[in-house]
Amino acid sequence: MDSQSGTENRSTDLNGDGNVDLLDSPILEANINNFVYSNHP
């Protein structure tokens, strides 16, 4: 793992592709799941 970018983006780059993606955030994923379930029971 690259020590420069590996530690800085660790919390927002969970998939390890080097980019900070929206789906990298587990909190956002949870919100999307709640949104989907609330609108499509």
40 vs 9: CA distance, rounded Å: 33
pLDDT of residue 7: 47
- Give pLDDT, residue 17: 72
Our CA angle for 26, 13, 10, nearest 5°, is 100
pLDDT in tens, 8-37: 545 566 666 777 666 555 566 667 777 777
Q: What length does the chain have?
A: 41
Q: For position 9, what pLDDT does the model report?
A: 46
